[in-house]
Amino acid sequence: MYASTHLTACEYDKTARMRATKIGKKLNVLFLSSCEPCDIFLIKELMTGAADCVNVCAIIRPVQAPQPAGRWQESFKHPLHKAHGLLNTCYRSHREQQNRSKACRFLFGKGVPELNTEIIDVPENSVNRPRSIEKIASFRPDVILASGAPPIAPTVFSVARIACLNVHYGIAPEYRGEHAQFWPLWLGDYQHIGSTIQYIASGSDESAPLVRGYPALSARDTEFSIAMKSARLSALLIREVLQNMQREGAAPALIRVYGEPDGQLIHSRDRKVWHDLAYAVRRYLLGRHPPEQAQRIERFYRQPSFTRSAGTELVKEI
C-alpha cells in the first residue's frame, strides 16, 4: 500500500500561501503599537523603505483607560507616601512629555507624519479579549509586530501566519521591561546598550532574541541621543528581518544561546527622581561618559540563507 499524497484543503491553502510568499507576495504586517514617536518612525520607514515586500495592513493602538479617582480620605492615611508617589508620577509624566516632543523634532523635523493605514484604538485591558483577537485575525496578518505594546496573550500571537515579533528598546534578556537603555548607563554596563528584535513563538509568550543592534557610542552621547540612534537602527534591523522572511516565506530558526530568561525585569515605577539626579551628577560633575564604541549587530539566525543576505547592503553603520 502506498501512503496517500493528497493534501487536505487546509494544507493545500497553507502550502499555496507559502509558495506565493516565496515568489514575491508582500508580507501582510499588522502592528500592535502605542504609536510613540519611535514607533511611528519605525512604521513609516517600513512603509517607504520596504514597500516592495511589506504591506502594513493595520495598526492596533492600545489606549490606556482612565484611572478611577481615589478617595480623598485615603491621602491622610500615609501622607508622606502619597506625596512621594504623586511627585514621582508628575515627574515621570513631565519627563515623558519632554522626551516625546524632542523625539518628534529629531525624527520628523516639524510634525509627526500621517500614516496611510487604518489605526484602530483598543482599550489596553481588552487587547487579549476575543473581540479584539477576531478583529486582528480579520486582517489575515503574516506577521504581527509589537512595539511599545502592553503584555500580549499567546492567543494573539497564534493569529500570525508566519511569526510574531517584538521591538524592544533595550538589550534583552539582560534588560527587560521599561527604560532598558537608562539602566545600563546608570550601572556603567555600556556593553548592553541597544535594541533587540525578539521572536515570539506562535501560541506562546516565550520570546528569544532574533537580532540585537548596538549603536555606535561616544562620550557625547546621552540617554536621548542613544534612544534616537537605537530607533534608527531598529528600523533598519526590522526591515532586514522582514525582507528575509518575505524572500524565504518563513521565519528563521534561531540559535538558542539562552536558557531561562535572566537579567533584570524593570518597571517604569522603578525609576525615581533621585536616579536621574544622581546620574546627572555622575555625568556632568564626575565625568562618567560612555566609551567610544563602534556599531555592532548580533544575529541569531540558524539558516545560512538568512545570514548570507543579512550582512551585506541592508544595514549600514549609523
Domain ranges of the chain: 12-65+77-310
pLDDT of residue 258: 57
Query: What residues contact 212, with CB distance under 8 A and at least 6 apart?
Result: 171, 172, 194, 195, 196, 197, 297, 298, 300
Q: Which of 3.40.50.300, 3.40.50.150, 3.40.50.10140, 3.40.50.170 would CATH assign to domain 12-65+77-310?
A: 3.40.50.170
pLDDT of residue 68: 55
Q: Identify the H or E element spanning 106.
A: helix 79-108
Q: Are 237 and 198 in contact (CB under 8 A)?
A: no
Residues facing residue 299 across a β-bridge: 211
Q: Which residues of the chain have pLDDT under 70?
A: 1-24, 65-82, 84, 202-205, 256-262, 307-318
pLDDT of residue 223: 93
pLDDT of residue 225: 95
pLDDT of residue 104: 92
Half-sphere exposure of 299 (CA within 13 A, CB side): 20
pLDDT of residue 4: 32
pLDDT of residue 256: 66
**What is each CA distance from 298 to 15, 72, 213, 309, in whole angstroms?**
32, 52, 6, 14
Q: Are 63 and 124 in contact (CB under 8 A)?
A: yes
> DSSP character for 116?
S
Q: Are 153 and 203 in contact (CB under 8 A)?
A: no
Quote the pTM value. 0.82
pLDDT of residue 20: 43
